[in-house]
Amino acid sequence: MKTDKKLLIRKQIDVANSMSMPELQAKFLELHGFDCGQTSPRNLRKRIAYRLQEIYFGGLSAADAEILDTIADNDPLANLEQVLPEGWPKHRERGSAAFGRASCTRSSQ
């Protein structure tokens, strides 16, 4: 008997719609492999539904991914880098004394 993918996904999404927040967080972790962080149940349900569809119907084709990479490579906004003052560490840990103390300044041109 052939399983209808759309029906199967619809059932899983319906189950997710009735889950509590801890259940949604566990399902998100199961599907994505990382914690969801601070978010709303509505957002988690959407992200779970999108991931289920990706798993069952497939993600981007290699050709589509290559096209998007080419577009991003040529888009200056997609390639922004944070410029830190000389001597500042590139990665700071949350909770460290330096975290969150950087200031933004404008320079006249």
Return the structure tokens found at 67.
Answer: 């096209």
Let me know if 53 is exposed, middle or buried by CB neighbors in 10 A (0-12, 13-18, 19+): middle
Distance, C-alpha 5 to centroid of its chain? 24
- Residue 73 CB coordination number (10 Å): 9
By percentage, how much of the chain surpasses pLDDT 70?
A: 77
Let me know if 109 is exposed, middle or buried by CB neighbors in 10 A (0-12, 13-18, 19+): exposed
Rounded Cα gap, residues 40 and 44, in angstroms: 6
Does 18 score more than 90 pLDDT?
Answer: yes
Does 100 score more than 70 pLDDT?
Answer: no
